[in-house]
Amino acid sequence: MSATGTRIETYEDFVKVHGLLLASSGLPTSLYGRLFEKLSREEFDGGSHFQVEPCEERRQRRLVFTSQSMPMESDIFLVDHAWSFRLSDAYQQLQEVPGLAERMASLMCVDVDLGTDTDETDEDGDSQESNSKLNVMDVVKNEIRDAREKGNEVIRWLELEELDFDDDMLLSLDLSSKYPELVALSLLGNKLENVETVVQEITKFKSLKALWLNNNPVLENCDDHMPYMILEECTRLEIYNSCFTSNFGEWALGFCAGLYDKDNPSFICENEHPLQSVTTLDISNRCIHSLINKAFSPVEIPCLSHLNIRGNPLEQNSVSELLHLLKGFPCLQSLEVDIPGPLGDSAVEILESLPNISLLNGANASKVLQTGTHVVDSILQPCLPGWAAEEPLVDRVINAMWLYIMTYRLAEEEKLDETSVWYVMDELGSALRHSDQPNFRVAPFLLMPEGKLESAVSYSLLWPIQNVEHGDECTRDFLFGIAEDKQRSARLTAYFHTPQNYFIKVLNLLWASYVELNC
């Protein structure tokens, strides 16, 4: 202490007074000195290293690292608390403290009405389009011209998207006569309505491998027979409305791997193996019912190292069949799959069956095995708050704040305050999103400049626990220290739309055990 004994002025006194707080925060001892310096100068320098960006269609914010790089445990940042309160006082404070509700609403992204059209409008209130839509005939002419400029006399890939043409126009175009060797045809976003007309024109293409009719009224007017009628005639079709058909093979996989596109619609050398060089393959959300396929094999894709099969039912394959298939890929190290899903209900069991996998849904395999985490998902959709346009800001904040508030309790030598103090970090701290593999850690800290609790000022401490590079999103673990033995996966449901099947199955097993014990 200083000579007056009223204020901390030296590093030694700082550590002596705050030793227990520092130890409980988990802050490395190597950063104690840096923390003391920043607290002494009241240095909030996070703005020099981080930037807050909107995401999730501006319904959430994220924190991005803007400096060149930062090694783990190399620096410490002070995060201010924008709002501290007792829970019973929250509503009243939001009503009475000037500007508090507005700041919290902005911080929690609930200050705008959902569905508000932000497009610029003219004097009549109509949205302005920067470019008028080309006539469909002009588009066809442009396609022919572009192909010829590239030395291609035969058109194999044609995109006639969002041109608002109808069934009569489709008939008049007579596409099959002009482009009989089409491999890919996209008609999405038009006004095609008649099933017979569409089937009649499409089935004239015998070399077609991909067809997109998405966002046409005909899909609402038809029953399940239209796809079968098209597939019966277009026997080479592998992709229909973004989904894999039962005929999928090398072309569909090559399309998803980025081998085939408008500039390269098909592989020229038919005798070669075009998928030999593929290392990353994303076939998520393709309505695939079976992966047992000649093209999807270690022989055809020997270098595959990253595979995404999320969103596919794969109900025609058993768990053991799929695990046996994936185990055959010698280079496969990263896998993305629904859990629970076609590979089973447990991340641990999947990793035990596929020992070469080092990343499962973005999570480090060794950590998953160590913690025993069953549900692992790096892209769980956040539970974002909803509200009505007429709902007051105060009510919006009260409903949304549970995703942002944190808590601590005050304690002296003689007693513990049983009423928790709740707080919201400032805009920078509140932009830290959750990750099971975080690169930063956050801990509350009370500075007692006069050595007593009465003089305490609350902050949050932020420091890197992994090496961080420019452009990385900065994340923290919302459930730090909580593993599966404390129901980590179940607790994540407070923040994310987690897979319900897993918890329903576990609940059924518990109920069955209860019934068995009590019968």
The DSSP code sequence of 381-406 is PB------TTS-HHHHHHHHGGGT-E
Q: For position 436, what pLDDT does the model report?
A: 85
> Rounded CA gap, 100 and 91, in Å?
11
The strand pairing partners of 286, in sequence order, are none
- pLDDT per 10-residue tile (average), the chain, 519 residues: 66 94 95 96 95 92 96 97 96 97 96 57 42 65 78 85 91 91 94 94 96 93 85 96 95 95 74 86 96 95 97 96 97 93 91 95 87 69 87 95 91 64 97 93 94 88 97 95 83 81 72 80
> Rounded CA gap, 251 and 267, in Å?
8
Cα angle vertex 463, ends 460, 469, to 5°? 135
> Rounded CA gap, 26 and 462, in Å?
11
- Tokens linked to 335: 């896998």
Q: What is the pTM of this model?
A: 0.63
**Are residues 357 and 367 in contact, defined by beta-carbon separation less than 8 angstroms?**
no
Domains of the chain (ranges, CATH numbers)? 11-113+399-501 (2.170.270.10), 135-371 (no CATH)
> Rounded CA gap, 301 and 283, in Å?
14
> Rounded CA gap, 30 and 445, in Å?
17
Q: For position 315, what pLDDT does the model report?
A: 96
**Which residues, in sequence order, are CB contacts of 142 under 8 Å at separation 6+?**
134
In this structure, the number of other CB atoms found within 10 A of the CB of residue 37 comes to 12
Q: For position 379, what pLDDT does the model report?
A: 63
Q: For position 138, what pLDDT does the model report?
A: 82
Q: For position 123, what pLDDT does the model report?
A: 45
> Rounded CA gap, 206 and 292, in Å?
25
Q: For position 451, what pLDDT does the model report?
A: 82
**Are residues 35 and 26 in contact, defined by beta-carbon separation less than 8 angstroms?**
no
Cα angle vertex 345, ends 344, 351, to 5°? 70
Give the helix/strand (H/E) hosting 214: none
> Rounded CA gap, 248 and 239, in Å?
7
In this structure, the number of other CB atoms found within 10 A of the CB of residue 98 comes to 6
Q: For position 307, what pLDDT does the model report?
A: 98
Q: For position 377, what pLDDT does the model report?
A: 65
> Rounded CA gap, 337 and 516, in Å?
34
